[in-house]
Each structure stands twice: as C-alpha cells, then as structure tokens.
Copies of this chain bind each other. A is one copy, B any other.
Amino acid sequence: MSHVFRDVGGGVCATPGIEAAGVAAGLRRGGGPDVALVVAPAPVTAAAVQTRNQVAAAPVVVTRRHVADGRARAVLLNAGYANACTGPDGMAVATDSAAEVGRELGCGPADVLVCSTGVIGEPLPRESLLGAIPRVAAALDASGGRRAAEAILTTDTVAKQVAVGVDGPDGGCVVGGMAKGAGMIAPGLATMLCVVTTDAALPAPRLRALLGLVADRTFGRVSVDGCMSTNDAVVVLATGGAARPPPEDVVAEALARVCGRLAEWLARDGEGARTLVRVRVAEAPDEPAAVAVARAVADSALFRAAIAGADPNWGRVLAAIGAGPVRVDPDRIGVDFAGVPVCRDGVAAPFDRSHLAALLEGPEVDVTVRLGLGDGRATVTTCDLTHGYVTINAEYTT
C-alpha cells in the first residue's frame, strides 16, 4: 500500500479543528509573546511523554495527572519561568491556570494540560499568567500555530513548526507540531516542549505507546549538552476528525516524520550551534549498543568543540567510545568525517586536512563510526560546542 507524505503549513493548526494563539504576558525578559494555548474542539484522545528528571516541575506533575485518563482538550504553555522548584505556590499556579483555561473553554480543569519553560526556581508570576488566559483564549484562531510556536521560545533563535499530510488508498490524516528546545537537550528528553496534533483516531493506550516509541527515536536521540531538564514534555492531541484515517503504522510514520524533523531542528538551533552534527554508528552489536556509542560521542564536549573548530579530531571520537559503556574492539573501529575516511582499523587513515576542514565548515556534518561488531545502527544528532553556548549559559539568569 503506497502512501504519499507531503509537507503542509499551519503547525499544530494543520489538524482541522485545532485552534491556537500566543500572547505576551510579561513573563519573558525583553518582552514578546510568552503564553501559548492549543485547543481542540472538544476533549480528545491525548498522551504525553515527560521528563524523567526526579526534580519535576509543577506543570509536569499536573499534566501527568490530567492526561492519565487519556483525554484532554487544551494545552497551555508559557516561557520565561520553568515553575520548577517552586513549592506549593508553584503547584497552585499550575493547577489554577489549568482551571482558568477550563473556565474559559467550558471544560473541566482535568482536560487542560500545562507546560512551562524558563528559569528554574523563580516563582512563576501568578497574576501575569492567570491574567493572560482570557486574552489568549480570546485570540484562539485556526491560523494561530505560528504565534503559539513563537510564544514558547526561550533561547531558541527561531520558531519551529512542522506539519505533514499523508494520503493513501486506505485513508489519510494530518500530523502537525511545534517545539522549542535550544539548551539542556539530552537523552531522555531535556528542556524541550513539543505539542503535536493529529486528526487520526487512536485509542489512548495506543496513542501513548506510539508517542513513547516515536519520542524515544526522535527527541530521545538528540543531545545538545547532556543536561536533562525538569520540564520536558511532548504532548499529543488526536482529534479523530479524519474522515478515513489510515492504518496505525502510517499514522506512526507521519508522527515520526514530524517529531524527527522537529528534533533535528532542536539540534540545529542548539544554543550557540553553527553546525548540525549527525553521529551515525553502524556495525554495532545491536541497536541499543549503537545508540549508546553514538550518544557517548555526541555528548563529548571535546568532540563537539573540535567540530566548532572544523577539526577532524577522530582521536576524541575513539576516546569517547572507549570511555563509554559498550565493549568495543579499538582495532576494528573506522571513522569518517563528512564522508572522508580519517581512521581505519583504529589508526589514522591518510586524508587531506585542509580539504576536510573546508567540508567541516558547513552547516551539517555527518560523522560515521563503524565498529565492525554486528548489524546494529543508530544516529544521534547534536551540534558543535561554540563560544555562543558559553555566552548564552553564563548569562542566562543574571
């Protein structure tokens, strides 16, 4: 059965019936939109994947509770404050903001999910957030996807929306999403928020399982700095509005495309990033081993700084692999930078350094590692470690 996947516009609003909005509530230093709302026409099937950090933000706790029944109508998001490490007051703001959205929309508070991103530990200004809710609800619009995507940014440089339509002889659907990332992006989801909508129809347990699988293979394979945040969440609302939705595996593929492109975009827009780096590992004993090896390389600050310097320093790749958890045979390892062999059988391969350095100046670099041990393969995406990262993170709260 052949299906056609095509890009469509609208982000989360690509799904028929979904409305979104973004408004300014004074939460973000420097001003600009900082509160977003995404709303389905009625409570629909919903699922969420959230941070595994033990220090979970109040909105993470509230969303976990509200999504437990597999249904939700709206997602409220804010930038500026993470509402993490904020005690009972922070929990009250998260709970009360869900209730306030419910009042505006005429649904129960438990049908509202909440997400926050920003500085940890500082109280989320209650009146600013609650006061913005009637305004953001009034601004809801079927073309509001971009404004919502803009309102959730922190150190991101660009709003990130992706939507895909899929059609085939056995049905079609739309999947649309928005995300923010930038720093603290790490395995296990790190500071990133993502809202995905679809008109496909899936029972809640299937939607949850599908989202878990897709998130693991997309957002779970991006690493900016190995830091896992207190606030991460990927939320999906499935309206079931499609007249003839395709089979589940086709929905899964569309969801994977949207999440995969958003995830890669997070790395491309990583804090200070100039170069997107795909660490491709092949010939690992199995796929989990391939992921672990790719992650060990992608998490290496030394490796990422070398990329910033357009330096094919494959020794740092081998050092990172050797320090990692997967048993390897150093004498079998091969490494290519940008398609150029730089290491074979664990030792240097001759290459033209200035030619390769020029290739490494590009916006995307693939680093391929072959372990010579099996058939396992995986890719983890990261970015170079630049002065920009240090500047951003040395000056974030002060």
Contact = CB atoms under 8 A, between A and B. Distances in A.
Given A54-B327, A346-B87, A394-B309, A226 B301 contact: yes
B86 A302 contact: no
Interface in A279-327: 299-302, 305-306, 308-311, 313-316, 318-323, 327
Q: How many copies does the complex hold?
A: 2
Contact of A121 (B122, B229, B348, B386): B348
Contacts of A54: 321-323, 327-328, 330
Interface in A49-72: 52-56
Contacts of A239: none
A228 interface: yes
B120 A316 contact: yes
Contact of A228 (B121, B299, B323): B323
A328 B343 CA distance: 43
A194 B99 CA distance: 61
A85 interface: yes
A75 interface: no
A229 B300 CA distance: 11
A353 interface: yes
A120 B318 contact: yes
20 contacts: A54-B323, A55-B318, A55-B321, A84-B319, A85-B314, A85-B318, A85-B343, A119-B315, A120-B316, A120-B318, A183-B302, A227-B316, A227-B320, A230-B319, A302-B393, A305-B392, A311-B397, A313-B397, A387-B391, A389-B390
